[in-house]
Structure 1
Amino acid sequence: MNERTGSLRRAPFGAQNATAIIDAASHKVLRNTYMLLALTLGFSAITAGVSAALRLPHPGILLTMVGYFGLLFLVNKYKDRGLGVALVFALTGFMGYTLGPVLNHYLNMPNGTQTVMLAMGGTGAIFMGLSAYALVTKRDLSFMGGFLAIGILVAFLAGLAAIFLKIPALSLTVSAVFVLLMSGMILYETNSIVRGGETNYVMATLSLFVSIFNLFTSLLHLLGFSTSD
């Protein structure tokens, strides 16, 4: 699953508006990442649709965390083997299953279908726009890594507090912060692939998938609250 670490070659002198050229190794990682990402997004959408259609119950926050972090550990352990790809599908399928009951909740609200579609459209637009920027910019965005890691940890803990303490205002704030953090993660991860910092397409796929998933659910929460009145 690992590719040779690549580097960015500079555009020819005088080509002020030209973008940096991705070397062969980085291009291969990027291609494999986007292919696997498309497949996992489709698989997750299917499991979410089945879960919603069958009205399966949500597994609960504790079981969700155990399943997510357990599968995440296994993916990281086997990321350099073929089993790693299968585990990515297991993890993204599980996340799709947990999304089904959430979708039913919003679809049962007034203008619920419109809310879900707006969240999907917003997620797609943000992902494509930020990915395009990360692909063409010559800037090294690796400096964002530490800030994003700390921000995600703080926001995650705040989100848990909002759930257990039942504080709607805090929950909304966390969702807004997650929109910004996940947007930053899309920029950071894509730029890392382009510059040769991320050489494992399994982990790159998982990082982008989780960012897209959290971006969608955060937008869904914000839009659902704004249209609930």
Structure 2
Amino acid sequence: MKNPNPGDRREIARSHAGALIDEGLRQHMLRVYNYMGLGLVVTGLVAYTVGTTPAPFMPIFLTPLKWVVTLAPLAFGFFFSFRMQSISASGAQTMFWAFCAVMGLSLASVFLVFTGTSIARTFFIAATMFGATSLYGYETKRDLSQFGSFLIMGLIGMVIAGVVNLFLGSTAVQFAVSVIGILVFVGLTAWETQTIKQQYTENFDQESLQKLAVFGALSLYLNFIDMFQLLLTFTGQRKE
């Protein structure tokens, strides 16, 4: 059998290296989605348990403790941002699960306001939208980074408009904020999925890849939760 020439050997080596990178990236993205999916399960279980059980719900939401629960996810978000570089992979995982549980507490009131059927329907709508846009962000060859700054600006504008509307109480403004918010989070999902993909490198050690997966899962998790909450304003059926 004839031995391959040096050029063929280099091509074989490049193909083999490319296959290893593709497999590593696939495993990394699977880890990201697994973290995110399990995080949603934790959030859903906590929200359902607290929202449908008077014993834990009443001491939280009928007392000033409700403000602690409401603001806790924001505090967790700031903590993650400041400790992103210094926290260990195991510490990041612990904080992620704690964050998902606290988010479940803050969403527990949803089960008192909306029917279970409409909550489930909205969840599947959000899951479908998220899945489609995340898949697009992963598969597309188009560079989405050019849209990143516009999406962030849109997010900031949406938050400011939402805060102002707390004092105005305008249904028209609320409607506009919800529509724009859904579009923004759809765009952020695609962009951040592509960013997570691009951040992966086979040169990272296992600790770094683990942290990268947790923080990637957190960013996608937040997009999904925000998308779900905004969609609920349109598709949620209130209890009578």
Same fold (TM over 0.5): yes
Cα deviation, residue 53, structure 1 = 1.1
**For residues 8-64 of structure 1, what are the alpha-carbon distances to aligned partners after superposition, in whole Å with 9 as ceiling and x for unaligned?**
xxxxxxxxxxxxx96455434312211111111110111111121124227788545
Q: Does the 8 A contact of 2:70 with 2:106 survive in 1?
A: no
Q: How far has the Cα of 1:175 moved from its partner?
A: 1.1
Question: For residues 146-225 of structure 1, what are the structure 2 equivalents within 5 Å?
Answer: 146-196=149-199, 200-224=212-236
Q: How many aligned positions are there?
A: 203
1:142/1:188 contact within 8 Å kept: yes
Q: Which moved more, 1:90-99 or 1:22-31?
A: 22-31
Residues 201-224 of structure 1: per-residue CA shift (max 9 Å, x gap):
222111111100011110001223
Q: Distance in 2 between matches of 1:124 and 1:208?
A: 12
2:40 partner letter: L
Amino acid paired to 1:37:
M
AA of the residue aligned to 2:126: T
Corresponding residue number in structure 2 for 1:73: 78
- State the AA in 2 paired with 1:67: A
Query: Kindly tell me: are residues 36 and 98 of structure 1, through their superposed partners in 2, closer, same or farther at Cα, counting changes over 3 Å?
Result: same
Give the letter aligned to residue 214 of structure 1. D
**Amino acid in structure 2 at the alignment position of 1:189:** E
**Which residue matches 1:106?**
114
1:68 shift after superposition: 1.9
Q: Which residue of 2 aligns with 1:50?
A: 49
State the alpha-carbon separation in 1 of the partners of residues 200 and 147 from structure 2: 13
Q: Which has the higher helix share?
A: 2
Using the size of structure 2 for normalisation, the TM-score is 0.75
**Percent of counterpart pairs with the same letter?**
23
**Which of residues 76, 93, 107 in structure 1 aligns to 2:101?**
93
Q: Deviations over 1:65-94 (max 9, x none)?
A: 631221112223444411111111111211
Poorly superposed stretches of 4+, deviation over 6 Å: 58-61
Describe the shift of the 1:61–1:219 C-alpha distance in structure 2 as closer, same or farther (beyond 3 A). farther
What's the TM-score once normalised by structure 1's chain length? 0.78
Q: For the aligned residues, what is the CA RMSD? A: 2.7
Gaps spanning 5+ residues in structure 2: where? 1-19, 202-208
Change (3 A) 1:74 1:99: same
